[in-house]
Amino acid sequence: MIKVTTFVENTSISPDYAHKHGLCLYIETTNHKILFDLGSNGLFLENAKKLGVNIAEIDTVIISHGHADHGGALKLFLESNNTAKVYVRRNAFDSHKIKVLGLFFSVGLDSSLKKHPQIVLTDARTVIDDELMLFSDIDNHMFPTKANKKLYAKVDGKMIVDDFTHEQNLIITEGDNKILFAGCAHSGIVNIKDKAEKIIGEKLDSVIGGFHLYNPASRKRESDELIDGIADSLNDGVTMYYTCHCTGKKVFEMMKKKLTDRIQYISVGTVLKI
Ligand SMILES: [Fe+2]
Ligand SMILES: [Fe+2]
């Protein structure tokens, strides 16, 4: 069994916990105390304290991709913990921007942290140990979203539409229990899940993360057709989904009509034992 506590998310279970656009999940496994993403600011520190977790005891941090709502708090983490290894994709510190009304706005990480001694730059596959594996080599590109087309990355000095090779996903294996964590799932949650199942050779027990189907800034969601198509593809009768962040509450309700009790929304303060 692993325990997953939400430290940062767009909503919270009660007014006792502040919430903010972004993601930070605290994961306890047999061998590790992990933070999957950190959010954009010091909220993870505040909520960790309220939820009884000492940040200095974290041994592993995974930054899912090079966007500030997931890794903007990296400097604050490194000031609070001087032992954890922080796994970040090699190109996640590149410049990342969003294009709004023809203008570019930065949404990236603090590139000055790339050479910090606690940072481990990862390639397309990284096996950390028997429990933890990272991957970003996604084969399929089904269900492309409109939102991704506004996101850019600087490659060889040029801003190009982001291919999200800076996005990595985590598989946790504890005995028969196989769990996938995705940050924003920019590469598409169906594509990421398919790849994870190819890697492990069986269906996942649980998938946790944002599905990138709603933009809180523009308050726009992806088309009903796309959302229904994704829900149908995910509905395999085996996997349980715990979603949050860039899925959005409205999209969650739409997906719940198809996935019924196989999908649950997680907010700041939610504690899962799976
Ligand atoms: Fe995000
Ligand atoms: Fe993102």
What is the number of the ligand closest to the CA of 162? 2
Ligand 2 midpoint to CA 68 (Å): 8
Ligand 1 midpoint to CA 215 (Å): 9
Q: What is the pLDDT of residues 158-171, one digit of tens each?
A: 999 999 999 999 99
pTM, rounded to two decimals:
0.98
254 φ/ψ sector (left φ>0, alpha ψ -120 to 50, else beta) = alpha
Q: How far apart are CA 54 and CA 81, in angstroms?
A: 10
Domain ranges for the chain: 3-273
The token pair at 122 is 């990862």
Ligand 2 midpoint to CA 184 (Å): 5
Q: What is the pLDDT of residues 32-90, one digit of tens each?
A: 999 999 999 999 999 999 999 999 999 999 999 999 999 999 999 999 999 999 999 99
pLDDT of residue 250: 96
Q: How far apart are CA 79 and CA 73, in angstroms?
A: 10
Given a contact cutoff of 8 angstroms between Cβ atoms, the answer to whether 165 and 91 are in contact is: yes
Ligand 1 midpoint to CA 247 (Å): 9
- Name the average pLDDT for the chain: 97
Strands of 103-106's sheet in order across: 103-106, 96-100, 151-155, 158-161
Q: How far apart are CA 132 and CA 127, in angstroms?
A: 6
- What percentage of the chain has pLDDT greater than the value 70? 100
Ligand 1 midpoint to CA 207 (Å): 16
Ligand 1 midpoint to CA 174 (Å): 27
Residue 217 pLDDT > 90, yes or no? no
Q: What is the pLDDT of residues 194-205, one digit of tens each?
A: 999 999 999 999
Q: Determine the topology of domain 3-273 in CATH.
A: Metallo-beta-lactamase; Chain A (3.60.15)
